Structures are given as C-alpha cells and as structure tokens.
C-alpha cells in the first residue's frame, strides 16, 4: 500500500527523535515535504577521465587498479595513514587515506575501482586525499549526478539523499500532477512525477534541466494563478463608492501645487474610489516624490463623503510625522485627524478609540497599534498602508479587515523591478509617481575612507555654519561587537558621545536608536525637526519617510553594511528642501565588489536602477523576504533569473482563467485545492 503524503518522518529507516529534530530544522515535517526539498547542487560523477588528462584541482572520477600494495603507518597525533599507488593505462596517482585503516585490506590486486576525489599535483606526482572508492564492476554513485541537499547539524548528505529517495519512491505517482493537461501540452512540460524523480536522481544534465524548469514553472504558475484568484475575489466584493469630489478644492488645501505625476495618480485614485469595487492600488514613487499628498487626497475624499479612513505607518516617528502633516492639511477642511501608537497611555488610547468608534474622528493615523483588538471604526471606507515593504501581506489585510471591504491604498518607496512587482504586488493595480517636485537638486554622493575623516568633520561643521542640519547614520551595533570585530565599526552611543564631547562640542548633537523609549525618540526627532539639534546621530530608525527639509547632509558610517536600496532610502532623507544636499558613504572596506556596489550609488539617483543592481548583486531576498509572508514560498524558482519562465507562467495562468474563471471545472479541482493549501496563510481565501 502506498504511503500517504503526511506520513511521519519516523517512518523512514534511521529516523529517531534526534534526526527528526534535525530534519525539522530544515523545514521538513512529513514524508511529502521531501518531494519539494530540492538539492542545492549536483556533483557530476558521469564522466570518467583517463588519469593523464584529468583536470587538476577539481573533483573527478578515475578508473584505476592497485600497482603498489597499501601501507599503514602512524603519524603525529596517533593518526593512521594508508598510502598506496593506483594507475590506469595513462598514468598513476598516489592515494593517501587519513584515519581509514580498513582501506588497506579492502583494495585487491587485479580489481578495478572508481576513485572519486580532488586531483592534485605534488612535486610532479598526481595525488588524491581520501577519495571515495567504488568497485568498478558494481558502482552505485558513478555514472550519476549526485544530489547535495541543504543540511543541518547532525545530518550527512548520504543520509538525507537516501531519505529523499525513499520519499520519492514511496510517493511519486501520476496523481501528483496538478497542472492541467492543456498547460502541459502547450508549454511542452514533462509530467510531475517524472520531474520529481529527476530532480532527486537525475539521469543526465538535460533531464535535470527539463525537470527543474517544469518545477519552477509550476511554482510561478501557482503563485500568479493564486494571486489572480485573490484579485477576482476582491472584485466580487462591493465597497463604498465615494461620490466625486471637487479635486480643485483639495488642491487649495496644499501649500504647493501638485506635480503632473501627482495629478495623474490622484486622477487614478479618484476614479477607483468612485467605483463600487474597492480600490486596491499601489503607488510606487521614489523617496521624496510626494506620496503623502496622494494619501491625503484619498483620506480627504473619504471624509468629505462622511466615511472614515486609516493610515498605517511602520514606525512611530513616521506615524507622528504623518499625523502632523495630515492634521495641518485637513483640519481647515473640517476633518478630525487622530494619532494612535503603542506608546500612548491607556487613557489616551481609550479616548481615541472612542472617537473612532463613534465616527467623531474621520482619519486615524498610526502604527500597527491600529491593528490591535478593540480598535473599531464606525465606518472605515479606506485603508492606507505607507512604506508597504515594511509590512507583510497579512498586515495589509488585517487593516482592511477593520472595515467591510474598504478601499486600499498602498504607498511604497522601494522601487522594485517589474518582474518582482508582478509577483509581490500581483493583486494590486500599480501607479507610478515618476516625477519629483520642482527644484529638487540631485543629492551629491561620495564614497570616502577613514583617511578622509578630518575633512569630513570640517565639511559637517561648514554645513552647520551655513545653517543646515546633518544626519549621521550608523549600523546598529552593540558595544561588545564594536570592540571584538572590526575596530572601525561604530557603536552609535560611544560614537555620539565622542562627537558631542570631542569633535563638535560647540554644536548640539542628539542620538536616536531603536532601544530608546518612544517618548525619548519622539523628543529627539521633534527637536531635530524644529532645528534645535544640529547633528542627529542615529541607527536606521530614520530610514523610512522622515521629512526634515533643512537637513542637507547625510553621513552613513560603515556604509558597506547596508544594502543598496536601504542606502538609497537613507539618502532620500536629504535633498528635500531648496538646498544642495550631500550624502557621504564612509567605508574602509577594500573589497572590489563592495566598492563597486557603493559606487553604483554615487553614480545614480535613479531608485529603479539601484534596485535592479541590488537584485543582481544580492538576489531577491530583500524584496521578497519574510516581509511578504502570507505568499507561498518559492523553493526552486529564482526570480532573479527565471524571468522568461515567469512570463510564460503568467500567460498560462491568464489563459486558464479565461477558460475557467473560477476554476470550477472538475478537471481543475486538484489545482484549486492545491492553491488553497499554498495560500492557506493568506487572510484572503478562495471560494
Ligand atoms: P515621499 O514620497 O517620500 O513620501 P513626501 O510625501 O514625504 O514624499 O514628500 C516629500 C516632501 O516634498 C514633503 O516635504 C512634501 O511637502 C513635499 N512635496 C510633495 N509634493 C510636492 C509638490 N508637488 N511640490 C512641492 N513640494 C512637494
Ligand atoms: Mg513617505
């Protein structure tokens, strides 16, 4: 009787409680999980080299026989060494085995063996240390591509490979096919069970390629199909259509005139909001492109029609800033804006919750405190999420769940390459703010080493003398780490003290870091925003959204510790006013790769180009990491390289949905069930 997908791991030979725990660490919980536990790489044991022409320095298979009897000796430390010489018709190799005394008795004269190991040249002689040995007349691994699996402590590759094999043998069957026959035929894809066998025990590189591509296609197909279904579900909901407002009336509330891009996006939002289908729109715009004004417009429209709106920001600092901006903007229009954050007292929170529940307040700005139980709205018609990349899909849904099916507006300054946008935001309409407000001068960016420190300090002082303010950002480093590791790594606290007392005693220096109490953070930021502090030393808590137009210099210490997109975000904190602004990246890292990475930032201020470079250099993890939890994980597809497959998978998903919009046909039931399982974590579910 065939085993079930969810057979416990302990059913595998040799798996007891200890091994089971080690397998859990790898994310394996049942037999079926092995099917998608893919090898990281394959070792090629298909090629047999004549010894004389085998490449040096890499692992190779050679077929040879013993020419000199093996000797056993002891070396210092009591280690046992077996030495022997083997040869084929072309040349000889000296073999050395450490701590494998039994090898001496196991090599017979007149018998051929396959030796697999790294070939080296030592004093003109070929050598191999601790090669693996198989009898040439009955090889097990020779002739195959040996899979190498990710491992955790206490596990060896042969063990894991054997278990994966057992799982495949027990479970791989034609019933594991989830792709509709039409899709398989059109895209010339191999059957699922064949691919499953091939990926764990390939019969050749070509077969492996076919299997990998099909499995990657399948992942991408399911992902895009699932996202399309979520979107379709949304279209069945009815939201609250907001009657058309007077856009000019909104413009008159602003202290500036809107850019063309802002007008365009406001137009798109206005059209969305007046429909009964809830808006679900992402506004992507580089730092400083004026996304807040778009949110303000939508919140204003909402209040005009007697409904409520909420705006969620990832940090307390940012929530406070939005609160100040929005109340200044909307109060003259008779809109009551309230702030809700975790650091408020219970009494404050209670009062604000009451205002929201009664409808007395029309706009709530806050951190994820907005998501807590007990926060209820009288009539929430719009949910705005700022700096989306800081939140997961689930948090977005959780905010929306505070209303019926409210309109959703998502703002993001992380420009992500198109392929990723399709995946990550597949269920959103996208607007791009591709124009900066007038008068912005690109931020001049420099990369300097420690040797320029005195000059940097003079430059900082000169900026302050001219009336500007300065940010200095350090990676979050504990005191202990700063001393043990890289001596130039700056602990923020020590560094801020040093600057305040030794370097800039005549200037006012303040410090913000993640461990401060919210009230302290708030006070430090407020004093900087009011121009009372000249230099703000901080960790990346100021990374997102903070807006102080008089700050014209951003210094980033140990810049090599940050990702490019993150550096770009940080740089976006300056260049927001009328002044020429500067960003100085300080790094003593001499690695050419690192320097090239940082130089990218000096060469361009185009967020999309920077994001693309980041993607190429560091992979999609930063964009697609755990923050997007709620979406199924990709085990084999690689968004950095599988662009063509992604496009094909998307086309296939669209075609399928055109034929069978709700996947109602019985032929598609297995696929639909599979999607349900994959998207089970997502707050939205399929019907
Ligand atoms: P981001 O897109 O990074 O969230 P903000 O909405 O914080 O950008 O806007 C950045 C700065 O630009 C703010 O000081 C804002 O008042 C200003 N701003 C926004 N739109 C315009 C505009 N059309 N003209 C002039 N200044 C603007
Ligand atoms: Mg912003």
What is the pLDDT at residue 382?
93
Identify the residue with better confidence: 487 or 389.
Answer: 389
Q: How far is the CA of 533 from the centre of ligand 1 (A)?
A: 23
What is the average pLDDT across 308-335?
92
pLDDT tens track for 7-47: 999 999 999 999 999 999 988 999 999 999 999 999 888 88
Please tell me whether residue 124 adopts helix, strand or coil conformation: coil
Instruction: Assess whether pLDDT exceeds 60 at residue 181.
Output: yes
Model confidence at 110: pLDDT above 70: yes
Q: What pLDDT does residue 387 have?
A: 73
What is the pLDDT averaged over residues 484-490? Answer: 52
Q: What is the pLDDT of residue 680?
A: 72
188-237 per-position pLDDT tens digit: 999 999 999 999 999 999 999 999 999 999 999 998 888 888 767 666 66
State if residue 259 touches ligand 1 by the CB under 6 angstroms criterion.
yes
Say which ligand is closest to the CA of 440: 1
Instruction: Tell me if residue 224 falls in helix, strand or coil.
Output: helix
Residue 626 has pLDDT above 50, yes or no: no
156 pLDDT exceeds 70? yes
CB 119 within 8 Å of CB 56? yes
Closest alpha carbon to 624 in 104, 209, 31, 223: 223
Average pLDDT, the chain: 86
Confidence of residue 485 (pLDDT cuts 50, 70, 90): very low
Helices (H) and strands (E) in the chain, counts: 23, 22
Substitution candidate for ligand 1 out of 264, 297, 322, 437 with most atoms within 8 A of CB? 437
pLDDT band at 609 (very low <50, low <70, confident <90, very high): confident
Q: Is the CB of 547 under 6 A from ligand 1?
A: yes
pLDDT higher than 70, residue 479? no
pLDDT band, residue 628 (cuts 50/70/90): very low
Residue 322's Cβ-side half-sphere holds a number of Cα atoms within 13 Å equal to 35
Q: What is the pLDDT of residue 234?
A: 64
- Tell me what pLDDT residue 687 has: 41
**Distance separating alpha carbons of residues 449 and 590, to the nearest angstrom:** 9
pLDDT score for 238: 66
With pLDDT > 70 as the criterion, what percentage of the chain qualifies? 87
pLDDT at 616 over 90: no
Ligand 1 pocket residue status of 288, Cβ below 6 Å: yes
Residue 361: how many CA atoms within 13 Å on its side-chain side?
22
State in Å: Cα 292 to ligand 1 middle: 7
SS3 of 436-466: CCCCCCCCEEEEECHHHHHHHHHHHHHHHHC
Higher-confidence position of 296 and 612: 296
Distance CA 12, CA 503 (A): 65
The pTM (predicted TM-score) of the whole model is 0.64
Instruction: State mean pLDDT over 360-371.
Output: 93
* Bigger pLDDT: 4 vs 394: 4
Pull the structure tokens for residue 423.
């995946």
Residue with tokens 């609160």: 323
> Percent of the chain beyond pLDDT 90?
48
pLDDT at residue 419, rounded to an integer? 61
In angstroms, the CA 541 to CA 574 distance is 15
Q: Is the pLDDT of residue 655 over 70?
A: yes
Query: b/e per residue, 615-637, with b = 16+ CB within 10 A?
Result: beeeebebbbeebbebbbebebb
User: Model confidence at 240, in pLDDT bands (50, 70, 90)?
Assistant: low
* Mean pLDDT, residues 316-335 taken together: 92
Question: From the CA of 296, which ligand is nearest?
Answer: 1
Q: Tell whether the model's pLDDT for residue 573 goes beyond 70.
A: yes
Give, for ligand 1, the residue of 263, 292, 409, 552 to mutate: max count of ligand atoms closer than 8 Å to Cβ.
292
pLDDT at 683 over 50: no
> Is the CB–ligand 1 distance for residue 262 below 6 Å?
yes
Strand 59-75 with 112-122, pairing: antiparallel
Flag the least confident range among 393-407, 415-429, 507-521, 621-635. Answer: 621-635
- What does the buried/exposed string (b/e) look like for 331-343 if buried means 16 or more CB atoms within 10 Å of the residue's CB? eeeebebbbbbeb
Does the pLDDT value for residue 396 go beyond 80?
no
SS3 204: coil
Considering every ligand atom shown, identify the ligand nearest to the alpha carbon of residue 544 and give its number.
Answer: 2
Q: Is the pLDDT of residue 571 over 60?
A: yes
- What is residue 413's predicted lDDT score, i.e. its pLDDT? 78
pLDDT computed for residue 311 by the predictor: 96
For residues 262 and 435, what is the distance between their CA atoms, to the nearest angstrom? Answer: 8
Stretch 292-302: mean pLDDT: 95
Whole-angstrom distance, CA of residue 177 vs CA of residue 192: 5
Residue 511 predicted with pLDDT over 60:
yes
CA of 594 to the centre of ligand 2 (A): 29
How far apart are the CA of 547 and the centre of ligand 1, in A?
9
Apex 18 CA angle, 17 and 19, nearest 5 = 95
């Amino acid at each position: 009787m065939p085993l079930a997908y969810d057979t416990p791991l302990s059913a595998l030979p040799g798996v007891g409680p200890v091994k089971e725990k080690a397998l859990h660490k790898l994310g394996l919980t049942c037999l079926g999980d092995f099917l998608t536990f893919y090898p990281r790489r394959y070792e090629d044991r298909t090629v047999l080299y004549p010894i004389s022409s085998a490449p040096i320095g890499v692992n190779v298979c050679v077929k040879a026989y013993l020419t000199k009897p093996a000797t056993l000796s002891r070396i210092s430390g009591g280690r046992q060494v077996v030495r022997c010489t083997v040869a084929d018709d072309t040349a000889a190799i000296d073999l050395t085995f450490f701590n494998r005394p039994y090898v001496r008795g196991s090599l017979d004269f007149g018998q051929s063996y396959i030796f697999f190991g790294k070939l080296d040249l030592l004093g003109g002689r070929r050598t191999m240390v601790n090669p693996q040995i198989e009898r040439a007349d009955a090889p097990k691994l020779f002739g195959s591509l040996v899979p190498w699996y990710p491992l955790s402590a206490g596990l060896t590759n042969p063990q894991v490979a054997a278990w994966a094999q057992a799982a495949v043998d027990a479970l791989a069957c034609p019933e594991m096919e989830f792709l509709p026959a039409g899709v398989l035929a059109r895209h010339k894809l191999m059957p699922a069970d064949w691919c499953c066998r091939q990926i764990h025990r390939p019969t050749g590189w070509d077969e492996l390629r076919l299997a990998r591509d099909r499995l990657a296609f399948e992942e991408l197909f399911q992902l895009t199909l699932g996202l399309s279904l979520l979107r379709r579900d949304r279209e069945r909901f009815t939201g609250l259509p907001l009657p058309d407002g007077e856009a000019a009336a909104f413009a008159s509330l602003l202290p500036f005139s809107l850019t063309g891009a802002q007008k365009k996006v406001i137009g798109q939002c206005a059209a969305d909001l007046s429909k009964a289908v809830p808006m679900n729109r992402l506004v992507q715009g580089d730092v400083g492109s004026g996304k807040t004004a778009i949110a303000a417009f939508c919140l204003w429209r909402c209040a005009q029609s007697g409904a409520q709106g909420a705006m969620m920001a990832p940090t307390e600092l940012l929530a406070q800033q939005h609160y100040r901006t929005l109340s200044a903007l909307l109060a003259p229009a008779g809109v009551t804006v309230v702030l809700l954050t975790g650091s408020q007292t219970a009494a404050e929170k209670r009062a604000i919750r009451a205002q929201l529940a009664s409808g007395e307040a029309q706009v709530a700005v806050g951190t994820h405190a907005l998501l807590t139980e007990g926060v209820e709205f009288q009539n929430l018609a719009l949910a705005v999420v700022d700096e989306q990349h800081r939140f997961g899909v689930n948090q977005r849904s959780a905010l929306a769940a505070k209303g019926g099916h409210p309109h959703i507006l998502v703002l993001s300054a992380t420009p992500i390459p198109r392929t990723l946008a399709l995946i990550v935001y597949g269920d959103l309409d996208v607007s791009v703010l591709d124009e900066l407000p007038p008068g912005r001068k690109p931020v001049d960016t420099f990369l300097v080493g420690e040797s320029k420190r005195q000059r940097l300090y003079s430059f900082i002082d000169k900026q302050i003398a001219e009336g500007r303010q300065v940010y200095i950002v350090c990676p979050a480093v504990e005191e202990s780490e700063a001393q043990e590791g890289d001596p130039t790594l700056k602990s923020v606290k020590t560094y801020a003290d040093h600057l305040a007392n030794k370097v800039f005693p005549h200037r006012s220096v303040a410090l913000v870091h993640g461990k401060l109490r919210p009230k302290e953070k708030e006070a430090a930021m407020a004093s900087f925003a009011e121009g009372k502090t000249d230099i703000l030393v901080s960790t990346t808590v100021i990374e997102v959204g903070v807006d102080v137009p008089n700050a014209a210099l951003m210094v980033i210490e140990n810049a090599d510790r940050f990702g490019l997109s993150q550096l770009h975000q940080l740089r976006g904190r300056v260049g927001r006013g009328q002044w020429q602004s500067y960003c100085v990246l300080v790094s003593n890292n001499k690695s050419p790769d690192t320097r090239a990475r940082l130089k990218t930032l000096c060469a361009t201020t185009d967020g999309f180009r920077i994001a693309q470079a980041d993607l190429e250099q560091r992979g999609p993890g930063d964009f697609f990491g755990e923050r997007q939890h709620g979406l199924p994980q990709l085990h084999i597809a690689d968004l950095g390289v599988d662009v063509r497959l992604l496009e094909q998978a998307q086309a296939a998903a669209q075609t399928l949905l055109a034929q069978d919009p709700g996947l109602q046909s019985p032929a598609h039931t297995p696929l639909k069930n599979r999607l349900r399982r994959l998207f089970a974590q997502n707050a939205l579910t399929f019907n």
